[in-house]
Amino acid sequence: MATIQKFEDIDAWQKARELVKVIYSITNQGSFARDFGLRDQIRRAAVSIMSNIAEGFGRGGNREFIQFLSTARGSASEVQAQLYVALDADYITKEQFRQLYDLAQSSGKLIGGFIRYLQKSEHKGAKYK
């Protein structure tokens, strides 16, 4: 794995950023834009993925970083659950659902892989920075 100099170098953060961009775009349209509760909640969950990756990176230690990454992965699952609500309420199409669901799933998988990498590195005494 290449040396990570800043949180923007992390693949999972980049994927989460992509998810946030699409979530914001879709939640600005039609009935979704007027369902303030769901719109705001799914936005917060998506932003939480990016934010927790960045904050964990800034903490400077693998254990704490892993904790923040776990929260980020949970937020990715939260986005997926909320997408079902949006689909069932006819706020998004099945195609939009699949696109967003896959982005959230991809983010979660990248985070999971990074957690495993950090856990292995931790046993060897290495740090991510």
Q: What is the pLDDT of residues 53-80, one digit of tens each?
A: 999 999 978 999 999 999 999 999 999 9
Q: What is the pLDDT of residue 3?
A: 80
Positive or negative, the CA dihedral 12, 64, 118, 8 is positive
Distances (CA, A) of 4 to 9, 25, 49, 114: 6, 29, 18, 12
Report if residue 111 sits inside a domain: yes
Residue 88: domain span = 9-123
Domain membership of residue 1 (yes or no) is: no
Confidence at 119, pLDDT banded by 50, 70, 90: very high
* Number of domain units in the chain: 1
Average of per-residue pLDDT values in the chain: 93
**pLDDT tens, residue by residue, 16-39:** 999 999 999 999 999 999 999 999
91, 1, 123, 108: which is closest to 53 by C-alpha?
A: 108
Specify if 52 maps to a domain.
yes
Q: Taking 70 as the threshold, does the pLDDT of residue 126 lie above it?
A: no
* Helix segments in 2-128, DSSP class H: 11-27, 30-34, 36-59, 62-88, 94-123
| pLDDT for res 94 | 98
CATH code of 102's domain: 1.20.1440.60
In a domain, 2, yes or no: no
Q: Is residue 68 within 8 Å of 51, Cβ to Cβ?
A: no
Residue 89 DSSP one-character state: T
